[in-house]
Amino acid sequence: MPRILIIDDDADIVEAMRVVLEKRGYQVIIAVDGNEGLDKARAEKPDAIILDVMMPGLDGFEVARELKGDPQTKHISILMLTAIKDKTGFDFQKETSDPDWLPVDDYCNKPLDYEILLEKIDHFVRNKKR
């Protein structure tokens, strides 16, 4: 059973995602902040990560950079959740020396469209990096 790590501090959104993902056949692991998310990503080695941008402590940007910079976790696909409607402040896809580069594999806007979320997670799992 593929495992998905959700790193988000909004309990209502986490619960909704958990229900949707479990109905699809995924095992869900939950972390409520960036530090816990880093620990669980390293310990659990999930098939994909759903990562919120805005969290207390380490935000999603810092967590993504840390995970993609770590040889143990750099292969895990990350789906960033964002309420930022205009993403021109950072580039989600292309690695550069620009400090605004965000090393995630894809993103979803909030409020969430759960069909789009599932399509993206299904794609990550089908095409899992080794």
Supply the pLDDT for residue 101: 57
Q: Strand 77-82 vs strand 48-52: parallel, antiparallel, or unpaired?
A: parallel
Supply the pLDDT for residue 88: 46
pLDDT, tens digit (0-9, with 9 covering 90-100), for 85-107: 555 445 554 444 555 556 788 88
Supply the pLDDT for residue 102: 64
Name which residue leads in pLDDT, 115 or 57: 115
Number of domains in the chain: 1
Lowest average pLDDT, out of 40-49, 59-68, 71-80, 97-106, goes to 97-106
Encode 82-116: b = buried (16+ Cβ within 10 Å), e = exposed: beeeeeeebebeeeeeeeebbbbbbbbeeeeebee
Containing structural domain, residue 27? 3-126
Taking each helix axis as running N to C, give the angle between helix 11-23 and helix 114-126, from 0 to 180 degrees, rounded to the nearest 10. Answer: 60
Supply the pLDDT for residue 57: 87
The backbone torsions φ and ψ at residue 100, rounded to the nearest 5 degrees and listed phi first, read -85, -5
CATH of residue 19's domain is: 3.40.50.2300
Lowest average pLDDT, out of 7-21, 28-42, 89-103, goes to 89-103
Supply the pLDDT for residue 56: 86
Name which residue leads in pLDDT, 83 or 68: 68
Encode 7-23: b = buried (16+ Cβ within 10 Å), e = exposed: bbbeeebbeebbebbee
- pLDDT at position 64 over 80: yes
